[in-house]
Amino acid sequence: MKNIILGVCGSIAAYKSATLVRLLVKAGANVRVVMSADATSFITPLTLATLSKNPVGIEYFKADTGEWNNHVELGLWADAMIIAPATANTLAKMANGLCDNLLTAVYLSAKCPVYFAPAMDLDMWLHPATRQNVIRLQAFGNIMIPPGNGELASGLHGEGRMAEPEEIVAFVDAESKKKLVLAGKKILVTAGPTYEAIDPVRFIGNHSSGKMGFAIADELASMGADVTLVTGPTAQTSKQKTIKRIDVTSAAQMLEACLAVYPGVNAAIMSAAVADYTPAEVAEQKIKKQDEELSIQLKKTTDILKTLGQQKAAGQILVGFALETNDEELNAISKLQKKNLDFIVLNSLNDAGAGFKGDTNKITIIDSALHKTMFDLKSKEAVARDICDKVTQLLNG
């Protein structure tokens, strides 16, 4: 979720909203805070505006400037609304459709999932009116973040304290993933080049930047998948914080990492540019410049894609890539069939804008039935969506 409205009500627990804003922003969300007037007695709007890097909404309009806080626009903008702390008073208003302040007006305008984290004393929480309001809100489709059990502001001990900010973020993240098309799916992605050592300072490598693989991993994670990214040496970073990253250097290390992960995944997308050959012997010391010529004996690396294809279980999806310079389709189909792939992503260095290092790519997807889908030149992020859509179709039947 990128756009989140945080509603803050008048409760002693409002002080926790500062931490909540920071955690949401850290997770990559764009946060807009809307406060009730009473909430400003517990925490200042300036604090939340500074942490969220957005102005805080309190009133419908500012009397001195006439500036209007458009509650309908806010409700349409948000991917999720979190009301934390949610007081008994605000819960009652929400349950009965009252909107005498900006916060409740935004709630009634929201088209997104709405989460509420109750915060009140034990007797208020247990009162039949509050219980009925909560039941009614849940019947509307709103999602309650259960209150905790512990010491309350009154000195009583029991249920009613607002969930901790870390618990709220984890709860919302888990709930939102349930609605995503790849929720519960585990996917392995490889990216980048491999470096095959010649001596302690030199290696054989290639020009892969890792951009395509990282874009695929980010797209899969945004669709709810549990992604493990095995990457060779690259300066790329993931946008999605949930991705588990395993850094490797050589083809042998990448093979070992993939074999450890592969049995437990639903799909593997092998976009790394793995070396086909590696030095037969690695010099222990730096090779000194002596003769006019230097010969290095090479040996084949283990074919990772073929190895996984041989181990592929029923229902697993395996995707390979083919970067070709001649006889593109013929070579790609041969690789598709020999390595037991579900589909292969072909790109040609003869196509302008395709290949390594750049921010664009032009691909053709060929599946196991030899159905061919050609795509125009696109950004690598857009290409990643096309590839992930194909994987999703196969995983979901």
Count the Cβ atoms, other than its own, within 10 Å of residue 210. 25
Residue-range domains of the chain with CATH: 3-178 (3.40.50.1950), 186-395 (3.40.50.10300)
Reply yes or no on whether the pLDDT at 355 is more than 60: no
Half-sphere exposure for 217 (CA within 13 Å, toward CB): 29
Q: How far is residue 20's CA from residue 86's CA, in Å, rounded to a whole number?
A: 14
Instruction: With CA atoms as reference, report the closest residue to 321 among 380, 260, 246.
Output: 380
2 three-class SS: coil
pLDDT per position as a tens digit, 278-317: 999 999 999 888 877 888 999 999 999 999 999 999 999 9
Half-sphere exposure for 81 (CA within 13 Å, toward CB): 26
Phi, psi for residue 258 in degrees, rounded to 5: -70, -40
Do 169 and 27 contact (CB within 8 A), yes or no? yes
- Residues of each annotated binding site for CTP: 276, 286, 321, 335, 339
Burial (CB count <10 Å: 0-12, 13-18, 19+), residue 306: middle
- Residues of each annotated binding site: 276, 286, 321, 335, 339
Q: How confident is the model at residue 357 (pLDDT cuts 50, 70, 90)?
A: low
Total-model pTM? 0.70
User: What's the chain's average pLDDT?
Assistant: 91
pLDDT per position as a tens digit, 259-270: 999 999 999 999
Q: How far is residue 227's CA from residue 217's CA, in Å, rounded to a whole number?
A: 7
Reply yes or no on whether the pLDDT at 67 is more than 80: no
Reply yes or no on whether the pLDDT at 65 is more than 90: no
Do 270 and 249 contact (CB within 8 A), yes or no? no
Reply yes or no on whether the pLDDT at 353 is more than 70: no
The residues that are catalytic are: 206
